[in-house]
Amino acid sequence: MNTINEILETIRPNRSALFGFFSMMPKGGDLHHHYSGSIYTESYIDYVFQKDFFINEVTLELAKDISTLPAEIQKEWKKISQVINKEKLKLSLLRAWSIKDFVKGSQSGDEHFFATFTQFNLPSKEDYINGLNELKRRALNQKISYLETIFITLSTKDIQLPNETELDKQFLDIQKTKDTGALNLELEKIFKEYLQPVTTAANEHTRKVEKLHADSQVETNGFVLRFQNYVARYKQPIDVFIELFACFHSSDNSNLISGVNIVAAENGETSMRDYWLHTMFFKFLEGKYPKVRYAVHAGELVGGMVQPENLGTHIRQTLILDNLTRIGHAVDIIYDNDFINTIRKLQAKKTVIEINLSSNEFILGVANDLHPVEIYYRNHIPIVICTDDEGVLRTSITEQYVLLAHRYKLSYDEIKEVVTNSITYSNLEDGKIKTQLLEKLDSDFKEFEKNILEFYQPIVLEKDNFTALKFMSLS
Ligand SMILES: [Zn+2]
């Protein structure tokens, strides 16, 4: 009699057998993925063809209207329907909007990855109903029942900040001395002064997100969708604060927006410069909105990307935050010169680490033994497996589990625990929905295990790399 742990040990070296195994395995939830990067490029292409937008065939930029462009420039643009070689255009878009066929050259992996978001910006900001249904369809197909999607930007464009430049300068001056007292006084002042317009912007956003949730009718078949608000870390300090303030306010007032996040390239000049400020903004806002749970992208850095002394400090800085539930990526902990203490504190705080294997491999070149996934797991820091941007990366949650099992030595029971974490450590409140999802996961696992055992038990498994292939030829 083989146990499932033994079966997984035997097929571990064989990725084709692992795909067979993990395609069938229930996977709970995906807690770290961005809406726009999760839509597969083919869907964006279909949409822009159907809308017949204008395109610049050289730069692949899109526009709905080109009438305001100078006549000289207009010549470079045409309607998509007027493009002669449409198949060639589709392939070019597929390559520009995802990592398909990408070869490092004049552009680095991280540069290409982040550039895709600007390229497909126009279609990604429309057609949300189809987009959300695509996420649901893929989730169910991959045996995922819960998504916590980092969704759409909260617009604060109507909030007038007459003294923006002055406020930014003040923030940057305070950051130099890291005077938390002075910073909190300043934030308190801004909080009072802008509460009204921020509330208006936050409420408008909440209504928009809740309407999209209702109109998309995704919550059927035991599938649950929640959202995270987010702010982009490359903006100037006062903009980041006002948006984050509105993100917290909106999340605090909605059952469907179950979290807040901070995103975008961490190695950017402004992101690196303002990391301390951003952390202090979270600290301030968690005091104002103690019910709001949030995650941050932190430690998405690798040697060679920034100067060595800037590595291994970001995760450590988050330790001052009380309501931070999860950290996305957290790869650069390997460079922390207070590594043991940081690990111990993460353990004590039960901070969850969101692991994004394909994303880290493409953007950072971090894979295999350079990835700290086993360090976290073996030190009893909860981990969850996520996709980050499966559309851009052309991956899937199933592939993430294949990579986990193929590269790292987690047993089946341990992987099952990681899957359960994805519901337990979601930002869903403890209650009926969470209980139902956990019960469903449990019964799906029972069914999965029964099928796997029935299938594999008649076969004498041998501890060699070809057993899985032998097994396949038997079937
Ligand atoms: Zn991310």
Q: What pLDDT, in 10s, does the model give residues 253-309? A: 999 999 999 999 999 999 999 999 999 999 999 999 999 999 999 999 999 999 999
Ramachandran assignment for 69, one of left (phi > 0), alpha (psi -120 to 50 degrees), beta (any other): beta
Cα–Cα distance, 362 to 63 (Å, whole number)? 29
Ligand 1 mean position to 409 CA, how many Å? Answer: 25
Give a yes or no: residue 143 inside a domain. Answer: yes
Candidates 32, 25, 31, 29; CA nearest to 413 is 25
β-strand partners of 324: 294
Ligand 1 mean position to 447 CA, how many Å? Answer: 32
Ligand 1 mean position to 438 CA, how many Å? Answer: 25
306 shares its domain with 166: yes
Ligand 1 mean position to 420 CA, how many Å? Answer: 21
Ligand 1 mean position to 263 CA, how many Å? Answer: 6
Ligand 1 mean position to 359 CA, how many Å? Answer: 8
Give a yes or no: residue 107 inside a domain. Answer: no
Total domains, the chain? 2
The rounded mean pLDDT for the chain is 94
Ligand 1 mean position to 145 CA, how many Å? Answer: 20
Which helix (H) or strand (E) segment is 22 a member of?
Answer: helix 15-24
Ligand 1 mean position to 328 CA, how many Å? Answer: 7
Percent of the chain with pLDDT strictly greater than 90: 91
Ligand 1 mean position to 238 CA, how many Å? Answer: 23
Ligand 1 mean position to 367 CA, how many Å? Answer: 17
Ligand 1 mean position to 296 CA, how many Å? Answer: 9
244 shares its domain with 316: yes
Ligand 1 mean position to 128 CA, how many Å? Answer: 19
Per-residue pLDDT, 466 = 46
Query: Which range has the top average pLDDT, 151-155, 426-430, 464-468?
Result: 151-155
Ligand 1 mean position to 59 CA, how many Å? Answer: 26
190 shares its domain with 73: no
Ligand 1 mean position to 265 CA, how many Å? Answer: 9
Cα–Cα distance, 329 to 407 (Å, whole number)? 17
28 shares its domain with 48: no
Q: How far is CA 393 from the centre of its chain?
A: 12
Ligand 1 mean position to 193 CA, how many Å? Answer: 32
272 shares its domain with 326: yes
75 shares its domain with 140: no
> In which band, very low, low, confident or very high, does the pLDDT at 471 lie, cut at 50, 70 and 90?
low
Ligand 1 mean position to 189 CA, how many Å? Answer: 32
Average pLDDT value for residue range 173-191: 97
For residue 452, report the phi and psi dihedrals to the nearest 5 degrees. Answer: -65, -45
Ligand 1 mean position to 142 CA, how many Å? Answer: 20
β-strand partners of 329: 298
77 shares its domain with 224: no
β 224-232/54-56 pair status: unpaired
Per-residue pLDDT, 378 = 96
Give a yes or no: residue 463 inside a domain. Answer: no
> In which band, very low, low, confident or very high, does the pLDDT at 456 lie, cut at 50, 70 and 90?
confident
Cα–Cα distance, 61 to 54 (Å, whole number)? 8
Give a yes or no: residue 259 inside a domain. Answer: yes
Give a yes or no: residue 31 inside a domain. Answer: yes
Ligand 1 mean position to 389 CA, how many Å? Answer: 7
Ligand 1 mean position to 355 CA, how many Å? Answer: 10
310 shares its domain with 372: yes
> In which band, very low, low, confident or very high, does the pLDDT at 105 lie, cut at 50, 70 and 90?
confident
Q: Is the dihedral of CA 33, 34, 40, 43 positive or negative?
A: positive
> In which band, very low, low, confident or very high, does the pLDDT at 137 lie, cut at 50, 70 and 90?
very high
Give a yes or no: residue 115 inside a domain. Answer: no
Ligand 1 mean position to 191 CA, how many Å? Answer: 28
205 shares its domain with 75: no
Cα–Cα distance, 414 to 399 (Å, whole number)? 17
Average pLDDT value for residue range 48-76: 93
Ligand 1 mean position to 226 CA, how many Å? Answer: 16
> In which band, very low, low, confident or very high, does the pLDDT at 475 lie, cut at 50, 70 and 90?
very low
CATH number assigned to the domain comprising residue 267: 3.20.20.140
Q: What single-letter DSSP state applies at residue 331? A: G
Cα–Cα distance, 457 to 47 (Å, whole number)? 48
Ligand 1 mean position to 153 CA, how many Å? Answer: 14
- Asked whether 305 and 265 are in contact (CB, 8 A), the reply is no
Cα–Cα distance, 234 to 271 (Å, whole number)? 5
Ligand 1 mean position to 297 CA, how many Å? Answer: 6
If you search the block for the tokens 């589990």, which residue do you land on? 401
Percent of the chain with pLDDT strictly greater than 70: 96
Range of the domain at 49: 42-97
Ligand 1 mean position to 214 CA, how many Å? Answer: 25
Ligand 1 mean position to 227 CA, how many Å? Answer: 14
Per-residue pLDDT, 2 = 77
Q: Which amino acid would we find at residue 352?
A: V
Give a yes or no: residue 118 inside a domain. Answer: no
The radius of gyration of the chain from alpha carbons, rounded to an integer in Å, stands at 23
If you search the block for the tokens 């449409």, which residue do you land on? 86
65 shares its domain with 20: no
Average pLDDT value for residue range 444-466: 79
Ligand 1 mean position to 87 CA, how many Å? Answer: 31
273 shares its domain with 381: yes
- Residue 68, token pair as written in the block: 């305001």
Ligand 1 mean position to 264 CA, how many Å? Answer: 7
Quick check: 465 pLDDT over 60? Answer: no
> How many Cα atoms sit within 13 Å of 329 on the Cβ side?
29
Ligand 1 mean position to 37 CA, how many Å? Answer: 9
Give a yes or no: residue 457 inside a domain. Answer: no
Q: Is the dihedral of CA 42, 402, 413, 458 positive or negative?
A: positive
Ligand 1 mean position to 179 CA, how many Å? Answer: 30
92 shares its domain with 168: no
Per-residue pLDDT, 461 = 58
Ligand 1 mean position to 388 CA, how many Å? Answer: 5
- Asked whether 390 and 34 are in contact (CB, 8 A), the reply is no
